[in-house]
Amino acid sequence: MKKYKILVFTGAGADKESGVETFRDSEVGYWNNYKVEDVATMDGWRRDKQKALDFYNEMRSKLENIKPSKAHLIISDLEKYFDVTIVTQNVTDLHEKAGSTKIIHLHGELNKVRSTLDSSIILDWQGDLNIGDKCNKGSQLRPDVTWFGEELNQDNIIAAMAEAYESDICIIIGTSMQVYPAASIPFETKEKSLIFYVDPGDVNFEVPVNRRSFFEHIKEPATIGMEIIYNDLIDIFI
């Protein structure tokens, strides 16, 4: 029997209970301790490469010690019954560690770096990246993440849109939905698809009028929200 398709759209809040800081929603969020323009823009990179490298080295050093939360594990478990695609804004590898198999990283990945001369040269990378670490063409390596003002990887955006167009259910977890074009993807799902928004905070974005009757805000952290949704989906669809 054909499986219903679920699009899971995640942001930093989905990783919060694994010990990863978010960006905008708390005093300790990344953007409260670093200036976005210094560490996540091309201008910042041009001004002070080591500062940007230090920011991502700090984030990458945490990767080894963080584990998937119950939310990541439930999302992975949904693959038993549904055709699940994860479209994430997160640069961590927690969905991979939880066993999910279809993951699109819209804003890149912390454990990858790329050449500043030839963006097709992408290397797996653990540990710190520093000035002088170069690709085989002799150019400085940079984090393989998408900075503000940089175009997203078009293959990823096209793949994410294609999955959204076919999705019957959308689960949005832990994102303020402030960053575009990523935040447009959940509303590219089928017009009558169910949309669950898991976030202990308020809904601070516009839900399109034609989607409001299918939109449910579960005002809980990711682990509790995903338990609620898992039980609802099994009751309704299985």
Active site residues: 107
Q: Which residue stretch of 74-82, 114-122, 142-150, 209-217 sits at the interface with ligand BV8 (rule: CB under 6 A)?
A: 142-150
Closest-by-Cβ residue to ligand BV8 is 13
Q: Give me the DSSP letters along 148-204.
A: BTSPPPHHHHHHHHHHHHT-SEEEEES----STTGGGGGGGS-TT-EEEEE-SS---
Q: Are 57 and 48 in contact (CB under 8 A)?
A: no
Q: Does 151 bind ligand BV8 (CB under 6 A)?
A: yes
- Scan residues 180-199 and list those touching ligand BV8 (CB under 6 A): 180-181, 198-199
Size, binding site for ligand BV8 by CB under 6 A: 36
What x-and-dash track marks residues 209-228 binding ligand BV8 by CB under 6 A?
A: ------------xx------
CA distance 210 to 215: 10
Q: Half-sphere exposure of 216 toward its Cβ, with a 13 Å CA cutoff?
A: 15
Decide if residue 68 touches ligand BV8 (CB under 6 A): no
The yes or no reply on residue 150 touching ligand BV8 (CB under 6 A) is yes
The position carrying tokens 């990179």 is 45
Q: Which stretch binds ligand BV8 (CB under 6 A): 22-30, 72-80, 206-214, 227-235?
A: 22-30
DSSP state of 146: P
Rank residues 4 and 144 by Cβ distance to ligand BV8 and give the closer one: 144
| Cβ-based neighbours of 114, under 8 Å, separated by 6 or more | 121, 122, 123, 135, 141, 142, 143, 144
Contact pick of 6, 8, 11, 196 for ligand BV8 (by CB under 6 A): 11
- Pick the binder of ligand BV8 from 4, 7, 18, 22 (CB under 6 A): 22
- Member of 90, 140, 153, 167 binding ligand BV8 (CB under 6 A): 90
213 DSSP 8-state letter: G
Contact assessment for residue 201 and residue 24, using Cβ atoms and an 8 Å cutoff: no
Q: Candidates 95-103, 111-119, 133-141, 171-179 — which segment interacts with ligand BV8 by CB under 6 A?
A: 171-179
Give 114's strand partners. Answer: 122, 142
Angle between helices 70-77 and 222-237 (to 10 degrees): 20
Please report whether residue 92 would count as binding ligand BV8 according to CB under 6 A. Answer: no
Question: Alpha helix (H) ranges present in the chain?
Answer: 13-16, 30-33, 36-39, 42-47, 49-63, 70-77, 94-97, 154-165, 222-237
Nearest distance from C-beta of residue 231 to ligand BV8, angstroms: 18
CB of 101 to ligand BV8, least distance (A): 21
Chain positions contacting ligand BV8, by CB under 6 A: 11-13, 16-17, 22-25, 29, 40, 89-91, 107, 145-151, 173-176, 178-181, 198-201, 221-222
